[in-house]
Amino acid sequence: MTDKMRVALGQYNIATDEYLTFAKQLGVGGVQFNLHAGSPDLPAADGYWHVADLRRLKQKVNDYGLRLEAIENVPRAVYMDAMLNGPRRDQQIANYQRTLRNMGEAGIPILGLNWMPNLVWRTPAATGRGGVIVTAFDMERALAGDIVDGYLTVDSAEDREYSEEEIFANYVYFMERALPVAEEAGVKIAIHPDDPPVASLGGIARVFHKPEHFQRALEAVPSPSHGLDFCMGCFSEMVYADKSNNDGVLDAMRYFGERGKIFYMHFRDVQGCVPRFQECFPGEGNVDVVAAIKTLHEVGFDGFIIDDHVPEMLDDSDWRHRGHAYSTGYIMALVEAVSQLA
Ligand SMILES: [Mn+2]
């Protein structure tokens, strides 16, 4: 049986009954978890995830009649030295290999990855339509130190600058060791773009801030387990597609999609682009979302789609379930509509 393009609920870190019930209520078929900040479900005290914990997590999801589509991000601390070529690099890579093997054994097919030692940066939040609260980035404010400890934590207390060459070399070194294990374990590693997609932040170069950077990485370490977590919001931030010229995002989607390299989608968008943008609901950003979903359909994308960074709506919960409800339902309708095309 082949898979079809489908929608999941994602980006939360704990398999609570509330979260899984909410996923059922939305009518999605599966969930994804994002564990950049860790999770009580998957302790990584030894630097890797244990197979018993992975199995328990998957079972809980399956007990709700849901599919565990992917886990995104091991906690940053357990691969920080791999990104920066620190003293524990090889130990951390060995741990990552254990995580991959254990995920394979538990039957969890995708592990999301980002290569941002100092994570996602945002400047103070903005408001969107009707006063929804959205994240924003303004390079000028960021350079002036006006960074919020909001979306993801910022701590760039590194003692020196890191060049593009070395950050990329570290990625290649890491993937040359991770991917063979991933292939053997039947797990795919999905790399997420840099957010914001700029050349350097806090003295650390970023190596996934242009569409061609993914091409460079895939060619440097070719593997069927090497592909993208295509964050449409990041591509929108980097190539700036306004409604009259959205080819940049769609071209990248087509290029990687046709090659089977989009392992899953973050379907979000922004208004504006680097060096200044703010997030928004799908359909009111740079990208023509109908054209985007058609493109995914045309290239035969058969993975799952989640929303990402959803706006915080009136009386929303801390995990913004109202924002998720709107965005997920919107994406489900797009998928349903496109699935009826030839
Ligand atoms: Mn994303």
**What is the amino acid identity at position 310?**
V
Q: What is the per-residue pLDDT across 43-90, written as a single tens digit (0 to 9) for each?
A: 999 999 999 999 999 999 999 999 999 999 999 999 999 999 999 999
Ligand 1 midpoint to CA 143 (Å):
23
- Asked if 226 and 214 touch (Cβ cutoff 8 Å), the reply is no
Both structure tokens of 225:
């387990």
In sequence order, what are the residues at sequence separation of 6 or more whose Cβ sits closer than 8 angstroms to the Cβ of residue 81?
A: 87, 88, 89, 91, 92
Q: What is the per-residue pLDDT across 197-252, written as a single tens digit (0 to 9) for each?
A: 999 988 899 999 999 999 999 999 999 999 999 999 999 999 765 455 557 999 99
- Asked if 148 and 191 touch (Cβ cutoff 8 Å), the reply is no
- Domain 6-339 architecture: Alpha-Beta Barrel (3.20)
65-93 CB burial, b ≥16 within 10 A, e <16 = ebbbbbbbbbbbebbbbbbbeeeebeebb
Distance (Å, rounded) from C-alpha 339 to C-alpha 342?
8
Map tokens 């996602």 to a residue: 120
Percent of the chain with pLDDT over 90: 88
Ligand 1 midpoint to CA 105 (Å):
27
Ligand 1 midpoint to CA 60 (Å):
25
Q: What is the per-residue pLDDT across 270-315, written as a single tens digit (0 to 9) for each?
A: 999 999 999 999 999 999 999 999 999 999 999 999 999 999 999 9
**Tell me, what's the pLDDT at 110?**
98
Both structure tokens of 283:
């359909």
Distance (Å, rounded) from C-alpha 34 to C-alpha 38?
8
Q: How far is CA 201 from CA 139, 146, 148, 207, in A?
A: 10, 13, 14, 11
Ligand 1 midpoint to CA 135 (Å):
13
**Tell me, what's the pLDDT at 247?**
78
